[in-house]
Structure 1
Amino acid sequence: MSSSTRNRIVRGFKATLVSRAVYMLSSALLMFVLARILEPDGYGALYWAIGVLMVVQLLADLGIGKSTARYISEYREKDEGQIPHLLRSAVAYQLIVLAVVAYALLVFHDRIAVLLGDPEAAPFLAAGVLFIVANSVSGFSMMAFQGFNRLGYSAAVQAVSGATRLVFAVGFVLLGFGALGALFGYIVGYAMAGAFGVGVLYFKFYRTYEPAEEYEEGLSRRLAEYSVPLTATRSANVIDKRLDIVLVGVFLPSAAVGFYQLGKQVVDFVLAPSESLGFTISPNFGEQKANDQLEQARRIYEESLTHTMLVYIPAAAGLVLVADPFVTMVFPEYEGAVPVLQVLAGFVVLQAITNLTSDSLDYLGRARSRAIAKGVTAVTNFGLNLVLIPTIGVVGAALATVATHSVYVAVNLYIVHEELSLRLGRLARSIGTICAITLVMAIAVSLVTPLVSNLPMLVGAIALGAATWAVLAVASGLLDPTEVRAVIRSEGSH
């Protein structure tokens, strides 16, 4: 990987990671406060409604934002004059679809609530009209900034969303508006982030490009067509990440939704760095392919995958070991979340790979292949949920997620290998070394975990695991402190 590419990725990763840290810290605080104030039933009711709304959200977004990002990335290299035309087409498509879906939800929200077996959710779904509009606007601006490879702005939109959501959701709950007030806090957060993102997109980007005299023939059509496989992928993503919560709420009490949601939110917090890295590197694949530099793209992916696994395989093992004391000490009313979190530890590794790979495939032009794989595994996941949730409870949803996502990750890696000809032997040796490091770290943590009786001791057990990991990672050569310091110094000089 060239030093200029590495420094650009590091700058984008740092900006994205800082914003993601703000977003996830605010999410963690929001999770902690709402779980304490609302108790499992109210907490579950809120996130069940959000799960339903995120299913509706996919109809409002389709794949327009990601398709726009893909073509912006390509035409920044080929013909910048087409970018204003692209943005106008994308905004028009987005507004038309959003208007149709929002109107349908407004008209049918009460019937949807009855159909899902919870008529009391009708007010949440009515408020959901504002939710999907605000979320759609903020999400579109983030995707557009990713296409411009200006990830600092995407980062800022996400940070604004997280911070304002925390303030308003907690504030509305403390004022006595309950779970519905928390939902309006989400709406305000997304709306403020969306207003900020659209303002920056217009003044800093759209107005700075001189439009070409003619809109390239067929480009608007290709923009819409490429959104179709992205829509399929996004739909499958929603089934994987949201429909399971909806089904838990259909088959089990609201408290079970609270247990499951808590486990998933902890996992999301752990996955924040991998999501930041995947969001950062993916536009580079579009640029490398446009310039016919696939060797460079291969090195970027291999280095990123190795370092991601160096973090997440040990992190998943640690999560299994400390899940019980962590949940029982921090969220004493949510003991039912312990087995969910332990099963989802396997999902941590799988999703870390997905975060690194999925967007990259879109920029490599393999969105259709990924959509087919995602669609098949998502349908399988839905079927497994229907079988496992009624029979073994909330843990069944977690098992279904891990089982089907394993297949999806394997297919993704195969597609990447087709595109980039990965050096499989080298990667296998690195993963083997990482597993050996994980085993030693897990033994060290398991020896002290039975002694943990309070939060300081829990922090100490985690610190012991981290120290063991760091020493072994450096000793194995997978982590080079000199290289890390050099990257930091080079970044500091920019």
Structure 2
Amino acid sequence: MAQVDSLDRADIGGLARRGLFSLGGAAISAIASLLVIVVVTRGSGKTEAGNLFSATSLFVIAESLCALGTATGLVYYIARVRALDRGDGVRGLLRTALPPVIAVSVTVAVLMELLAPSVAGMISDGSDDTLVIFIRVLAPFLPCAVLFDVLIAGTQGFHTMTPTVLLEKIGRPTLQVALLLVAMLVGENWLMALGWVAPYAIGLVVVTGAIARLVRKEKHEPVTLRVVPPSEFWRYTGPRGIAAVAQLTLQRLDIVLVAAYLGPRDAAIYTAATRFVVLGQLGSQAVSLAVQPKFSELLAKHDLASTLRVYRTSTAWVMAVTWPIHLLVGILAPIILLLFGSGYDEGRWVVMVLAGAMLVATGCGMVTMLLVMAGRTTANLINVLVALGANLSLNLILIPRWGIVGAAVAWAVSILLSNILPLVQIRRSLGLDPFGRSSAAVALLAFAAFGAVPSIGWLLGGSPALVIGLCVVGVLLYGAGIWRLRRVLDLDSLITPVLRRLR
């Protein structure tokens, strides 16, 4: 295996530029996603909000199930066939992946329509039919949502982030906010579900044209044998498909269980509190989407030295983006939950528990994605199933005893398992780990700026104005510290060309 780091500053700079572009989209997506929750919680009662969150959680789990793991499979194989100069295999990959996805998603959509009353009866007490209406409005759009996600992932294999950022990160959540506002003004409950799901159909039209243009640019030779045999593609994507469903279930099933055990009111509070965890996840995903094809290429060439450098550098980038968010969310939990209206501050302990778990998770870097890009989809599946089993067991035990805090503890444990298990496997099989000088520097800086400094405000009486003011001081200190660490974080390759253009 190659032991020489083959990356140059241009490679790191390209990854940084794609990551920064994706990060900008993720920031807009985070704000829009938070606004979706704010609009729903402030524009409707807790019962209606809880029912909508439960219905959309079921929809997202079904969406992941119907994708059959093809989103990751397309990124993995498109990047590989292009790295090996076999771009003619892209069409074959799409012909392999899309027909089964369409067939399964249509079937599940029909079942959702037919079984909506039974599914709603298992979650709610049946006192109203709002949940049934929400499920039936969402169901016809399931094939559109699945194809949208799969094709968006396919474009990432071409090393372009433009469709992902413009359509998935900016377009869809922003349009959801606009349509939900219209639904609130009209005052019809079913329009809330329609406003949430309709952007998938609009986005599908646009992304279909985008991937068609990318495929046309690839060289195409009249070959009868596909570069990647369908059997190989499905052997890779099969375990990944099950793992993807399990991962989405980890993030969404607790909402459904809270609604079933405690009612839609508590489900609304729990959903609002957990959305702040998603803010940090979006930042992590922004870097992940930019780096994922590069991992596939480097591992295809068995270049472990370059893979280690990208892994450690990208981990520091992820921490630099997400640790300020998780620390601030934990510190400011009693204040920021007021955004959703009265009564939602009951979720402050949920926020703090999950924020702590996410600090550990992001400190492991993109370990799950690296495991998958190394072809270890079966190991990834086992990890996710272990985490899901722990999550489900703890939810059943802790929700009746501790309420929404119990659900948060269950999710936190599953988050830790989902990251620590693959971390051990990557270390043993490839000799790679995310721990380096850059990540240690970011950790110390983040704790100082967003842990120590704002905590002074709580120690001095907890005035919201004082705490927020100290958070602003922390932001300034953090910005100055990141600038001092720019060489350690390999950001010079991004900053230098920008400064040169400005001059």
Task: Check whether TM > 0.5.
Answer: yes
Alignment of 1:8-407 (within 5 A): 8-78=14-84, 79-119=86-126, 120=129, 121-158=131-168, 159-178=170-189, 180-206=190-216, 208-216=218-226, 219-328=229-338, 331-353=341-363, 356-407=366-417
Return the alpha-carbon distance in structure 2 between the equivalents of residues 110 and 493 of structure 1: 62
Segment of structure 1 superposing worse, 190-199 or 97-106: 97-106
User: What secondary structure does 1:336 align onto?
Assistant: helix
Asked if 2 retains the 8 angstrom alpha-carbon contact of 1:267 and 1:345, the reply is: yes
Return the alpha-carbon distance in structure 2 between the equivalents of residues 470 and 482 of structure 1: 13
The percent identity for this pair of structures is: 20
AA at the equivalent of 2:298: Q
Asked if 2 retains the 8 angstrom alpha-carbon contact of 1:437 and 1:473, the reply is: no
- Cα deviation 1:240-284 (Å, max 9, x = unaligned): 101111100100121211111111211212332211001111110
Deviation at 1:128, TM superposition (A): 2.2
> 1:431 maps to which residue?
440
Return the alpha-carbon distance in structure 2 between the equivalents of residues 281 and 299 of structure 1: 12
Return the alpha-carbon distance in structure 2 between the equivalents of residues 185 and 491 of structure 1: 40
Deviation at 1:12, TM superposition (A): 1.4
User: What secondary structure does 1:422 align onto?
Assistant: coil
Return the alpha-carbon distance in structure 1 between the equivalents of residues 398 and 20 of structure 2: 40
Asked if 1 retains the 8 angstrom alpha-carbon contact of 2:277 and 2:355, the reply is: yes
> 2:474 maps to which residue?
465
Sort the Cα spacing of 1:90 and 1:435 in 2 relative to 1 into closer, same or farther, 3 A. same
Sort the Cα spacing of 1:33 and 1:481 in 2 relative to 1 into closer, same or farther, 3 A. farther
Segment of structure 1 superposing worse, 396-405 or 108-117: 108-117
Deviation at 1:341, TM superposition (A): 0.8
AA at the equivalent of 1:84: R
- Cα deviation 1:19-56 (Å, max 9, x = unaligned): 22222222222222222111322222210111122222
Asked if 2 retains the 8 angstrom alpha-carbon contact of 1:373 and 1:408, the reply is: yes
Deviation at 1:328, TM superposition (A): 3.5
Return the alpha-carbon distance in structure 2 between the equivalents of residues 236 and 164 of structure 1: 28
> 2:4 maps to which residue?
none
Deviation at 1:308, TM superposition (A): 2.6
AA at the equivalent of 1:43: A
Asked if 2 retains the 8 angstrom alpha-carbon contact of 1:48 and 1:245, the reply is: yes
Deviation at 1:411, TM superposition (A): 1.1
Sort the Cα spacing of 1:350 and 1:255 in 2 relative to 1 into closer, same or farther, 3 A. farther
Asked if 1 retains the 8 angstrom alpha-carbon contact of 2:32 and 2:174, the reply is: yes
Structure 2 stretches lacking a partner, 5+ long: 1-6
> 2:452 maps to which residue?
443
Sort the Cα spacing of 1:419 and 1:152 in 2 relative to 1 into closer, same or farther, 3 A. farther
Return the alpha-carbon distance in structure 1 between the equivalents of residues 285 and 270 of structure 2: 21
AA at the equivalent of 1:466: V
Segment of structure 1 superposing worse, 219-228 or 110-119: 110-119
Sort the Cα spacing of 1:293 and 1:69 in 2 relative to 1 into closer, same or farther, 3 A. same
Sort the Cα spacing of 1:198 and 1:491 in 2 relative to 1 into closer, same or farther, 3 A. farther
Sort the Cα spacing of 1:440 and 1:209 in 2 relative to 1 into closer, same or farther, 3 A. closer
Return the alpha-carbon distance in structure 2 between the equivalents of residues 372 and 307 of structure 1: 28
Asked if 1 retains the 8 angstrom alpha-carbon contact of 2:65 and 2:242, the reply is: no
Asked if 2 retains the 8 angstrom alpha-carbon contact of 1:295 and 1:420, the reply is: no
Deviation at 1:384, TM superposition (A): 0.5
RMSD across aligned positions (CA): 2.7
Deviation at 1:3, TM superposition (A): 1.2
Deviation at 1:458, TM superposition (A): 4.9
AA at the equivalent of 2:107: V
TM-score after normalising by structure 1: 0.91
Asked if 2 retains the 8 angstrom alpha-carbon contact of 1:85 and 1:211, the reply is: no
Segment of structure 1 superposing worse, 113-122 or 252-261: 113-122
Sort the Cα spacing of 1:420 and 1:109 in 2 relative to 1 into closer, same or farther, 3 A. same
Asked if 2 retains the 8 angstrom alpha-carbon contact of 1:65 and 1:143, the reply is: yes
Q: Which has the higher helix share?
A: 1
TM-score after normalising by structure 2: 0.89
Segment of structure 1 superposing worse, 211-220 or 101-110: 211-220
Aligned residues: 489
Return the alpha-carbon distance in structure 2 between the equivalents of residues 478 and 296 of structure 1: 21
Sort the Cα spacing of 1:225 and 1:492 in 2 relative to 1 into closer, same or farther, 3 A. farther
Asked if 2 retains the 8 angstrom alpha-carbon contact of 1:84 and 1:211, the reply is: no
